[in-house]
Amino acid sequence: MKSAEALSPLLQRIAQGSATTRAELARVTRLSRSSVSQRVDALLDNGLVIEEGTAPSSGGRPALRLRINAEAALILVADLGATRARFAVSDLAGAELGSSDQGQDIDQEPAKVLAWADGQLRMLLDRAGRQPADVRAIVVGLPAPVQFATGTAIKPPLMPRWDGYRVPGYFAERYAAVTLVDNDVNLMALGEHRATYPGLEHLLFIKAGTGIGCGIIVSGHLHRGADGAAGDVGHIHVPGCDAPCRCGNTGCLEAVAGGQAMASHLTAKGLAAATARDVASLATRGDTLARQEVRAAAQHIGEVLAAIVSFANPSAIVVGGSLAQLDDVLLSGIRAGIHARALPLAQRSLRIETSTLGERAGTVGAIALAQDRLLSEEGLDHLLRIRR
């Protein structure tokens, strides 16, 4: 049997669709035809690819097209937010076999939250007629800074009981699967990049809701930073603002433009609003005060983004989270804030858009993360070992 390191490059090309016949694979990998044939046979024997139909040929026998065997692995996703969670099951080709949304409270014992999440995932598996034994990757999104290499939340303000808890340990006893843990906004950035802007090199995803966070794609890859804390923009100082923040500082972006801040400004004006979602639904229904509030918050977000645009010079900023449904007010405010302060050159080719995936951005990103891992040398080694 060929090793994962020999097979992974071929499998990745087949999955991307960039080379799907033996001849194409030989051309792009610069391996000999016989070497490619041996490796493709190993992939077929292990049920990782299947042959289907024929490709146009320039003479001789028509070539057989290869594609990834979607049935070779199941992927589970638990995208856990502060107050809501989204679950999904997909196959190895990334097709969603089922999903669900649930209210939840993340600030509990991690084992309790994960047991509940696992129950939700098993329900989805059951409904799709699939077996837990076929799960090969699990991705957990958390509203926290995450040390990706170990799958550990680090000093998470919204969920202090999770500090240092290794999420992969929980699933290791229950599934023959790799478990990946990432920050929820990182997953959203990855999802939006893969699904909507795969050709853009540098993209920022801003989640505007209760908290304000940022996922960063640099050269097509997630930038997590030295401590998994990259993109934590909620406590950047907004020039000219001094509202006190729960972090102990003043003038933080969240204290000025976060869901809580907007809701309490509106409450002070006699409206009933407790969360970012309340503010969003008031504004959606056309309430002038709520729309003004969202517009002001968006402009403050834009002022902070102006500094970030000058620093990072991204190709696109995609805005998601519960405020994103208000795309007219939100985007015009953000654009105004950026326009007033960012360097003209850095704005020249900058696109500012709302998320096309909406609530699904996190699960789409999580599935992409799992696929990348399963098709990598390390992930494929795991798949092959389980088959032996």
* Residues that bind its own copies in the complex, under the rule CB under 8 A: 5, 30, 145, 154-155, 201-202, 214, 216, 218-219, 221, 223-233, 235-240, 249, 251, 303-304, 306-308, 310-315, 341, 343-346, 348-350
Structure tokens belonging to residue 226: 């030295």
For 368, phi then psi, to 5°, come to -60, -40
| Separation between Cα atoms, residue 216 and residue 231, nearest integer Å | 7
Taking the least distance from each CB to its own copies, the nearer of 285 and 348 is 348
Q: In terms of CB distance, is 88 or 369 closer to its own copies? A: 369
- The counts of H helices and E strands in the chain are 14, 14
Work out how close the CB of 132 gets to its own copies at its nearest, in angstroms, rounded to a whole number.
35
Residue 85 in contact with residue 79, Cβ under 8 Å? yes
Detail the DSSP E strand segments found in 190-312: 203-208, 212-218, 221-222
Q: Which is nearer to its own copies, 149 or 268 (CB)?
A: 149
Is the Cβ of residue 99 or residue 376 nearer to its own copies in the bound state? 376
Output the furthest CA–CA distance in the chain (Å, rounded). Answer: 79
Sign of CA dihedral 24, 383, 360, 255: negative
At residue 147, φ and ψ (nearest 5 deg) are -85, 105
Helix axes 33-45, 22-29, angle to 10 degrees: 120
* Helix, strand or coil, per DSSP, at residue 218: strand
**DSSP symbols for 71-122:** GG-EEEEEEE-SSEEEEEEEETT--EEEEEEEE---SS-HHHHHHHHHHHHH
Q: In angstroms, what CA-CA distances link 179 with 38, 77, 135, 154, 279?
A: 31, 10, 10, 17, 36
Least CB distance from residue 307 to its own copies, whole Å? 4
- Please state the length of the chain: 388
Nearest residue (CB) to its own copies, 9 versus 94: 9
In the complex, minimum distance from the CB of residue 29 to its own copies, in angstroms, rounded to a whole number = 12
Q: Among residues 166 and 339, whose Cβ is nearest to its own copies?
A: 339
Q: How far is the CB of 371 from its own copies (least distance, A)?
A: 21
Contact 92, 371 (CB under 8 A): yes
Q: Which residues contact 325 (CB under 8 A, 6 or more apart)?
A: 280, 284, 358
Nearest approach, Cβ of residue 92 and its own copies (Å)? 26
CA neighbor of 302 nearest in space, from 288, 317, 289: 317
CB of 158 to its own copies, least distance (A): 13
Q: C-beta of 258: minimal distance to its own copies in Å? A: 15
Nearer to its own copies, 135 or 231 (CB): 231
* Pick from 195, 131, 196: nearest CA to 368: 195
Rounded least distance, CB 302 to its own copies, Å? 12
Nearer to its own copies, 51 or 311 (CB): 311
- The smaller minimum CB distance to its own copies, of residues 127 and 155, is found at 155
To the nearest whole angstrom, how small is the minimum distance from the Cβ of residue 269 to its own copies?
A: 27
Compare residues 119 and 220 and give the one whose CB is closer to its own copies.
220
Work out how close the CB of 54 gets to its own copies at its nearest, in angstroms, rounded to a whole number.
30
Q: What is the dihedral of CA 161, 166, 172, 178, to 10 degrees?
A: 120
